[in-house]
Structure 1
Amino acid sequence: MTAAAQTDANSEHAVFRYLANAIKDGRETARDARAYAKDAGFAAVVALGCVGTMLLAPDGRIGFDALAWVLGLAGSVALVARHRFPRTVLVITAAAMVAYQLRGYPDGSPVLPMLVAVYRTIRGGHRGFFAVTALVSLAISLGSLPLLPLGDVALRAALEKRFLTFGWVVACAMGAAMRIQHEAMLAQAEERAAENAQRSADEERLRIARELHDTLTHSISVIKVQAGVAVHLSKKRGQEPPPALLAIQEASGDAARELRSTLHVLRNADGGAEGVGLERLPELVARARGSGVPATVAVAGERPALPAEVDRAAYRIVQESLTNVARHAGPAAAVGVHVSYAPDRVVVQVDDDGAADPGAPPQPGIGLTGMRERVAALGGELHAAPRPEGGFRVRAELPLPRAGGAAGAAT
């Protein structure tokens, strides 16, 4: 790449990065604006409630002045920031409520924003800060009362109002704490349920692994041994072993290896089938030829660094397609395997010229269903249907992540 082309490419990448960052910043700004609008709307509702309590306050107390309205609404305005600065909002609402009480205004107005601030503070995990703020506020409120005999009616009424107000505050704090405890219990219950489900799945997976080992492993081993004995006897008699017999011997060995790999996957939840991928495609095609299916393979493009799940899925799709050709296409059918690599996808296509009817839809057997599930799990596309000119076609497009594509282009 020339220096000028490299400069143009860097400039283009810089423009894309700038646009991406601008879009991201715009989304975050819009999200923040929606959050502020929601908080402001809630604060406005609380403010209306405070105004209502002030307008409906009983007579006989100091008349309302400008300070009464300021103290009555200060806590509501502060609620706009209750999610971002819960402790600061708690201090503001507590100070407004105490100052309102010290002035002797009719009780009730600043209590509502105080309750909201208490709930948000407890939900935020600041229980100690709430306890200190509540005790200091109560001490200041009680310390402001005149020194009157305990039996005095005015003092008793003032004490009742103070403790009633702080009783509401404590009740709100207890409600928030109980809700937090309830949510924690639900989370623990869900976690235990997930652990039990995982444990059951692990036990079932191990059971299947044992069943496969006790049944298929024995049967495949017998096939492999018998095929080996037949090959040995043919050579001992000076005869060339039939190609079909050699194919049985090789296929049984591959089946045993793949079964061991499958058992490894079943016994290890995070394991993968080892040694299964498109690098073994020539062996797979050669084994198909040995079983009597004329098969060819063509590869286009440079092989990138494939993710293990994509590599494994592509191999299994070709494997199942070749198996279907041997079973259903007829004895004279030939098959062509095409693999195409691109930076963003891998395409595998298997065509045969067998006896499939172009007018009949394919029967959804276990093999085709398994292929569709593999492709769908990777976000790809699968086309499996008879060809107009005769025969059958399986085509799977498997997308690659960006990182994989970049790696592939660099190699």
Structure 2
Amino acid sequence: MSPPEPTPAPRRPRRLSSRQLVWLDRTLATGLLLPLLLYPAAGLALVALPLSLAQLVPLYWRRTQPVTVFLLVTAASVTQAVLLDAPLYSQVAFPVAVYSVARFASAAWGVAAVTTGVIGAGVAALDWVRAYGTFTLGDLSAYFLTITVIVVAAWALGTLGRTRLAYVEALIERSDQVQREAAQQVSLAASAERARIAREMHDVVAHGLTTIVVQADGARYAAAQRPEVAVQALGDIGETGREALTQMRRLLGVLRDDDSPATAPQPRLGDLVDLVGGADVESELLGLDSPVADGVALTAYRVVQESLSNVRKHAGPGAAARVRVEVAGDAVVVEVLDDGRGAAADSDGQGLGLLGMHERVAAHDGELHAGPRPGGGFAVRARIPR
């Protein structure tokens, strides 16, 4: 018996790899810096160049550290408003920073960014109109509305991108859940079929043994009176036994079907190669062929599996992960690092994945540490005694 084939997984939307996203950000920031080469010929104030650099350079990290980049760009823009009474080309960094916060940070930070932008639009409009000596309500409104529209548009585009990503991830999670439920139904159906076969085997064996017992009793009583009947009864006993064994072997052959999901073995350390290979992450796996207790191997596998799942859910788009597993000495050492949002990552407040990892590792007297990395991203490190 072979279980029905599960429904094939839907094709996931094409996305840029983490390396491609890094190069995209570098290209954008570098392209915005190039016009600064014309500053000497434009006759701008000496302070214009450092102010412009302070506004544009942080954009290299706008995807991984959006809040920090926004704060740096805002501080540079405030400094410009104090030192200069004229706009600079580099102020294009502010709407880019607003977009980045709305796109890659939380909704609350997005609202704070657009609010800061609207207030800054009023301050900039007032500063520039006064500098030009034509302080009229019409000029002030024109400047204010133009800057505000740019800031609000950047925030709206970033918010749209963030909500769309959340929607796509929810659809993917729902698809994964449906596939898991379908696989579970297949497994339950296979288990029910095996239970039915086991009942049939019980009936076959019980019937054969009952016949053998009855014929053996008859042969024992007939042996003293009619030996020829006993010989025939013994022949029937052998024939019945052989038939019962044949039926039992057939049914056991079905129960031993290796393709059944109900008999799939628990993951071992060697299965980590397929796990990290399918996740397209950088990996370093050492000593996987060393003898390790089944429970320790399963715990190490689950720690890596749950950590990579958390990277996909919480680290943000384009986050890269690195997995290192080493069997050395008297322990299995597991390390999963990513360069995602780290402490700024969204969380559902439950922490059940990390709690489950802690409980698994603690059951083997091991240690697990999980938390944001100082330079950004998140780290999970575990040491499980062998």
Bin of the TM-score, shorter chain as denominator length: 0.3 to 0.5
TM-score (norm 2): 0.47
Higher relative contact order at CA 8 Å, sep ≥6: structure 1 or structure 2? Answer: 2
Structure index of larger Rg: 1
TM-score (norm 1): 0.45
